[in-house]
Chain A
Amino acid sequence: MLNGRKRRGLFAVPVNVYLLLALVAIAALIHVTWLPRLPVRPDLMLALVVAWSLLRGLEEGLLWAFVGGVLLDLLSAGPFGAFTIGLLVAALIGGIVHRTVFTSGFFWPTATMIATTLLFHPMYLAVVNVAGLKVPWSAVSQVIVPVLVWNVVILLLLLAPLAWLHRRTAPVPVSA
């Protein structure tokens, strides 16, 4: 389910660029309007990046992470780079799982989501603190446990529509 066909070239994604921008912009908008109303705020962008990395691999995952991270950083009052760096690392992990694990089902997506969430929040706080905003590390423990559950749920909900999108937009491999 997760193993998409490989593409060639670094930025050879002309059609997907529009898709990327639209989806990531919508996710960013939901991030700043809808999600803050929930008692627990899931990391929608993180789930999106992880899901796409698992489906399409490292290259596209990194691009989604970069665009999504830059958007969130620009919309946030926090320091620039806090979201982007965390998302890039998440895409890296997603890409590695995509490349090395050839299993279908929900175990690996769930495990990847848990691992990336556990890395993302401390990394975010590290950047925030390096930039001079003093947010105590204890804040992570207050946020991360409920967010972890929500992130897994959102990832599993996203996987099916994104897998459909992946099948529709995956480039046709060039035959020899």
Chain B
Amino acid sequence: MMSRLVERSWLFATLLALTIAGAALYQTGRLAPVQRALSDVSSPIGEPSSALAARASDAIDAVRRFQSLASENEDLRAEVERLSLENVRLTELANETGRLRDELGYKQTNPSLQLRGAEIVSRGGGGLVPGRVTSRDPSPYLSVLTINLGQRDGVKQGQAVVTPLGLVGRIVDVGERTARVLLLTDRASSVNGQVMRTRVTGVVQGTGDGRLVMRYIEQGGDIKIGDIVLTAGLGGVFPRGQPIGQVTSVRQQDIELFQEAEIRPTVDFSRLENVLVVTQFEPTPPENP
């Protein structure tokens, strides 16, 4: 009996040692090809399984609601989303027109100055590759998903991932046929945001539980509940003007250096099926104050 116990202890110790050796290999990056290969292999299996899961999830939802009410609700929701996006785009255009008008007015009222106009280049749209979510991270503490696009589709690390509703996250690892996306809601995720109405900036960070918090908003910066937050485009990682979310609460204390705002993402991350990877975009120059 004693020898069997020792034998079993050895098995545990051996497997633990193998795990630690694997962890050491992981730290040196040597496991990355294995991970990518497994991801590539599991993706074709995971994709239909994921689609089936999505359908099953939808079916359960449908049972819960009355059919007519559900379809009407879906239609209305789609309409609201379309109009919200249209509203975002139109407001952005109006702001842009206003700024151009101001610049023009400035030029006319300052004829002595030599001014050179800068052309506003296109935002996003340079290269968008549609992808499908094949799997999500098995850990409840990490907000990462895998999509069925990889190096062969021109996907590279750091590229932004969006949907028509707004920003999803960025690519953190790329295999031949799959890529991992760090969602905006992950604790490790942060992006420069800008309030659409007032151009007040801050850093939008994930909380890990599906919420977003906009930090480092200057005291006195005009931000209120209901404001739309867009990507600021600073740093050139994310294209400017992509919707991030809507402000649901603002925390302002005079003793603090900055304000904080809680943001509800425009994208429903729990029901994400299709995404777009921005493989190319022209970074917009920072706005003149």
Contact = CB atoms under 8 A, between A and B. Distances in A.
Interface of A: 10, 28-37, 41, 45, 58-59, 62-63, 65-66, 69-85, 88, 92, 95, 124-125, 127-128, 131, 133-136, 139, 142-143, 147
A62 B173 CA distance: 30
Interface of B: 7-8, 11-12, 15-16, 18-20, 22-23, 25-27, 31, 34-35, 38-39, 42, 45-46, 49-50, 53-54, 56-57, 134-142, 144, 146, 172-173, 180, 182, 187-188, 208-209, 270
A136 B207 CA distance: 10
Contacts, number: 136
A139 B208 contact: yes
Q: Is the interface of B mostly helix, strand, loop or mixed?
A: helix
Contact of B54 (A37, A78, A131): A37
Given A58-B8, A59-B11, A77 B50 contact: no
Given A10-B7, A32-B46, A77-B173, A84 B139 contact: no
Nearest to A147: B140
Given A10-B7, A30-B49, A36-B136, 11 more contacts: A29-B46, A32-B137, A59-B11, A74-B38, A75-B35, A76-B137, A77-B144, A78-B139, A80-B22, A80-B23, A92-B12
| Among A65, A77, A78, A80, residue most surrounded by chain B Cβ atoms (within 10 Å) | A77
Contacts of A77: 137, 139, 142, 144, 172-173, 180, 182
| Among B18, B19, B35, B136, residue most surrounded by chain A Cβ atoms (within 10 Å) | B19
A81 B138 contact: no
Contacts of A58: 8, 11-12
A31 B138 contact: yes
A65 B16 CA distance: 11
Given A75-B38, A88-B15, A143 B22 contact: no
A31 B137 CA distance: 8
Contacts of A65: 15
5 contacts: A31-B138, A77-B142, A77-B144, A84-B19, A84-B22
A81 B139 contact: no
A32 B19 contact: no
